[in-house]
Amino acid sequence: MPGEGAHNASLMFVGEGPGFNEDRQGRPFVGAAGQYLNELLHSIGLKREDVFITNMVKCRPPNNRDPYPGEINACSGYLNAQIETIRPAVIVPLGRHALARWFPRDSISKVRARPRTFNGITVFPLYHPAAALHNGALRATIEADFAKLGALLKERESPGANAVSDTPDEADNSQQLSMF
Ligand code: URA
């Protein structure tokens, strides 16, 4: 399941791997987490067709287990090729597995919604939307983080017209969220 979206997208989302529904349909983020991702995109004025959505691993790990390092490694060439082909300006790793592709030593709870440049691309990590489905207390955090992503994109379009805050918010969900 390679991923889908605009081939000239300036924004790319990278999730973990296909789940049951994605595996059946051959499309990323079409299950419950995908519905929520659609809503989050909508909240910042975007549709799925505007962005490119893919995953770290291209095949479904059995029973939705975490992907093994060897599986992530085996799929990395595909992801690298997607990044080189689409050349997004901003990449959003969703959750800790995708975060590790760029910043393996960081924890998602600490670096979420903090933009950093990597090989000329702005990397803006966010919690995985499934995290909010497992833990409703996180919804507000993810929604606020998405709003920051929206502000960052606006700032890229018209620099100086919008104030972008890089101040982390006060919520500390690191304990509850270690699994994401
Ligand atoms: N979760 C992911 O990480 N990727 C998908 O495509 C669907 C759910």
Q: What are phi and psi of 121, to 5 degrees?
A: -110, 135
User: Which DSSP letter does residue 91 get?
Assistant: E
d(CA 38, CA 78) in angstroms, rounded, equals: 24
Report how far ligand 1's centroid is from the alpha carbon of 15 (Å). 5
pLDDT tens digits for 149-180?
999 999 998 898 866 555 544 444 433 333 34
Query: What is the number of helices (H) and of strands (E) in the chain?
Result: 7, 6
pLDDT tens digits for 55-91?
999 999 999 899 999 999 999 999 999 999 999 999 9
Q: Distances from the Cα of 69 to the Cαs of 6, 89, 100, 146, in angstroms?
A: 28, 27, 11, 28
Determine which residue's CA is closest to atom 7 belonging to ligand 1.
Answer: 29
Place of tokens 């300036």: 10
Relative to beta strand 90-93, strand 116-118 is: unpaired
Q: What is the pTM of this model?
A: 0.89
Does any ligand 1 atom lie closer than 6 A to the CB of residue 5? no
**Ligand 1 atom nearest to 95, measured from its CA:** 3
Amino acid type, 31: G
User: Which DSSP letter does residue 34 get?
Assistant: H
Does any ligand 1 atom lie closer than 6 A to the CB of residue 19? yes
Amino acid type, 1: M
SS in 3 state form for 42-80? HHCCCCHHHCEEEECCCCCCHHHCCCCHHHHHHHHHHHH
Report how far ligand 1's centroid is from the alpha carbon of 165 (Å). 28
d(CA 32, CA 43) in angstroms, rounded, equals: 17
pLDDT tens digits for 11-39?
999 999 999 999 999 999 999 999 999 99
